[in-house]
Structure formats: structure tokens, C-alpha cells
Structure 1
């Protein structure tokens, strides 16, 4: 996937406006899964990843997604079987990725309930364009509800547009990494953000670094950082910002 990886980086760098959609990537290959997640996140999408169909089902029980990107060639339950099983109750569109691009395979995927089908190797720009086209077709027409301009965290407030943290009339200084974390959390308040997403957007290879930065951020938000009320740990999922 070297050519695809390079192209994804270029396509992500060319993105100028966050599409504001939550995508679930399902792929058993950890390297490809991580790369897709990183570059889609850099293109402005909020991304969650699943390692197989069973993992994806657990995520679907607790989270809503705007689009699923599903690899067909997975051990156990393959992507086409998964699409066929979840389609009756799933509102989100499905984009299948596979190394098999024959007409019979495309037809099988579409008959299973997929909305689109992209054969590997693919041009990364085409993947982003197909995702955008699917979302435009399937998302409701009309203005979206206006996102809150500020998030209240007890005596602390976060100015979403400016990326500033305030305690009363005093601005709380944030480091570059802390500021990046706050922007990520503020995109989806009351929804958990997993460590891999945070790592992808922080460009940090050490998972422990996320925990350290969250601990530092809590000291600037929480009355008691050891018993956090607003920047919570979600067991098995990562962290979640829970404003008032």
C-alpha cells in the first residue's frame, strides 16, 4: 500500500475544510487500518477503527457513524457478509474495499447492501472523493444545527472557535499539544475518542504520551485532576470530554 499511503498523505494535505463526519474503518490489517485512520483524520474526518466484524458490532452498539469503510477480505466474517448482516438495521452507508475488482464481486457487494465499492490498489484521492460523494447523497439536506461556540467545564470555559481556555477573565495557557487535544475532544463532546485517533492527530508514536498530555490538561481543567469530572477516562475506549 506504499503508493496509496503516499497518495493519502497528499490528499489529506490538500483538504481545506473538515467534512464533519464520523467514519468507522473496519480492516484486519493493523498497518492499513492505522494508515487509513490517520489520513482520514488529517482530512478532517473523525475516525474510529475496528479490527474485525465482531469488534465493529460492539462499536455500533454504542456509537453512531456517518459512513463505514469495510475491507472485504477479512478472516472469519468477511466484509460482504458483515454488510449483509448489518444493513437491515444500519442507517449509515457502506463503502467496501477489496483487492478483488471483478464485476461479480462488485455486484455481490452491492447486493449485500453496500453503497459503493472501491478496488485495491486505489488512488487515495478517489477514496476521499467517493467518501465525499456518498456523504453528500446520504446526509440530510438543509442547514446543520449550529455547534456550540463555547463549552462550559465548571468554572472553566472553552472557546471552540478560538481554541482558547478561560477561567473567568483569565486565559489559561495551553501548550501546542494541549490545544490540539482540546480541539479533538471539542469536536465530539460526550463521545469517547480512542488513543489511536489522538496519536494520529498528535503525530506521536508513543501511546503513553497521550496519557501524559491528558494528565497535564486535566490540571488546567479539573478541580481535582485525580477524580476528573470533565475529561473522563472511558475504559476500553480512550477519553471523553463531558462539558456541562
Structure 2
């Protein structure tokens, strides 16, 4: 399945700039959300894992510099600062706070797009995986370790989620019970068997005759994706 588009959060107190950036970046394939101040941005970030923040420096209340320092203390999400203050000391201050890049207003939208793409490429290894695997009525997101069946969220334990992720990363490939025990911190092969039994009850129509989470005799298990 094609990788999901990166999700950007645009934080600027200027309605016009927010609207223009949202439209421009959406037209270039990104998912976009907007916030008019730091408080609104915090509320969004509490419920959504964004791939990159585009943050205005001069905002009423908590400034972009202050929000950058706060976000960086808890997250490695890339931050691109926008500001009308183009002095070298302002740029240095932003970078010292933890920003990854800095663009002075006014700017060409094309330059912003190039910088966004550059940041996403540079931090690609750190960003959550967006890939999903599908098997029957189920969809599993590797990035979120989230399983849905017929569109409904299926509750997984941490052990079940880590096991399913290990199998989903190598779809249709037999993985030994020993390797699964090591990758999922299950500790023992018997623990892997228990997790598989539980997962089958959540995935399969008939857990006693599994179609998707199959036993590979003499080896281990394989997830048979579509």
C-alpha cells in the first residue's frame, strides 16, 4: 500500500497566511492542519502525531521561539520557523531553541515547499512509519501499531501489537518463534504461542482454522497479507 502523505501543522496568527499555506501545501500532496496560536497547536499535538511543524515566530501570547523550546524538550518533530524578523541573531535564537530551519517573510511558496521536502528527507528515519498492511477485513498500521477490523478499532495489548508489527513488517514470510520472541521481548517461545492464540481470536473468522496468521511447520508463523 502506498505510504500515507506527511501531515503538517501550520501555526500562524495571520488568517491569510494560514489559508494560503494550507491550500498550497495540500495542493502539493500534504495533509495539513492549522492553528492560530500556541494553545490551539498544543491541543492538536496532544491528539495527532504530526510529521513537521511550520511555526510563525511573532504570535501573541506564547511566541514561536517559546513553543519551539517547549516542543523540542519532548519531541524530535521537525520545526520550520517563519518570521518577518530576518536578522541573523533572530535566526540563531530560533536554531538554539531547537528549530531545524528558518525562513524569513516574505518568501516564495516554492522555497517553502523545497525546505519542507528537504526536512522530511533528512528526518525520514526518525518519522513514524505510515505504511499499512491489509489482510481480509483487517488493516494494521505499522506506524501507530493500530489494528482495525471492518473499520472498527481492535484493542491490542502491547505484546499483541509488537508481535503483529513484527509479522507485518515481513508479510507472507515465515518468522521463527525464537526470532519473534527476541523481537517482541516476549522472552520465551511459549509466550509467542500464547500471543498468537490471542491475536487469532481478534483477526480470524475461525481461530481454529486460521487464514491470515498461519503456522509454518518447523519454522514459526507468517502473516498472510492481501
Give the TM bin, normalised by the shorter chain: 0.5 to 0.7
For residues 157-187 of structure 1, what are the alpha-carbon distances to aligned partners after superposition, in whole Å with 9 as ceiling and x for unaligned? xxxxxxxxxxxxxxxxxxxxxxxxxxxxxxx
* Alignment partner, residue 162 of structure 2: none
Structure 1: distance between partners of 2:136 and 2:9:
26
Compute the RMSD of aligned alpha carbons. Answer: 3.1
Unmatched tracts of structure 1, length 5 or more: 1-16, 154-188, 191-244
For residues 114-173 of structure 1, what are the alpha-carbon distances to aligned partners after superposition, in whole Å with 9 as ceiling and x for unaligned? 00000011111110000000000001189x6644579969xxxxxxxxxxxxxxxxxxxx
Instruction: Note if 1:132 corresponds to 2:120.
Output: no
Structure 1: distance between partners of 2:136 and 2:31:
19
Unmatched tracts of structure 2, length 5 or more: 139-150, 153-226
Cα offset for 1:91?
2.3
Which contiguous aligned blocks of 4+ residues in structure 1 show a shift greater than 2 angstroms? 144-153
Structure 2: distance between partners of 1:89 and 1:79:
16
Structure 1: distance between partners of 2:119 and 2:18:
20
For residues 27-77 of structure 1, what are the alpha-carbon distances to aligned partners after superposition, in whole Å with 9 as ceiling and x for unaligned? 011111111111111100000101100000011111000000000111111
2:65 to 80, 87, 112: 80
The residue matched to 2:23 in structure 1 has which SS? helix
User: Where do 1:5-24 residues align within 5 Å?
Assistant: 20-24=5-9
Cα offset for 1:94?
0.3
* TM-score, length of structure 2 as denominator length: 0.56
* Alignment partner, residue 31 of structure 2: 46
* Alignment partner, residue 184 of structure 2: none
1:65 to 50, 68, 93: 50
Count residues with an aligned counterpart: 141
